[in-house]
Amino acid sequence: MTVLLSKYYTQIEEYYMLAFRILHKEIIFKTYLIENKEVTLLHKLNR
């Protein structure tokens, strides 16, 4: 019983880590895009 539970929990942990990594990448990507837009806006304003 305990072995099954521990296996189950490690699987859940792996899923959470995977989901967290994917979310983290998406957040970084979105902030990168937003920063890029702001930078291009600044460049356009400075011209």
pLDDT at position 40 is 86
Question: Domain span at residue 4?
Answer: 1-47
Q: State pTM to two decimals.
A: 0.49
pLDDT in tens, 5-38: 888 889 989 999 999 999 999 988 999 888 888 8
| Residue 36 amino acid letter | N
pLDDT at position 16 is 92
Between CA 13 and CA 17 the distance in angstroms is: 6
Question: Which pair of tokens denotes residue 13?
Answer: 């942990």
Domain count, the chain: 1
pLDDT at position 1 is 62
Between CA 30 and CA 3 the distance in angstroms is: 41
Confidence of residue 47 (pLDDT cuts 50, 70, 90): confident
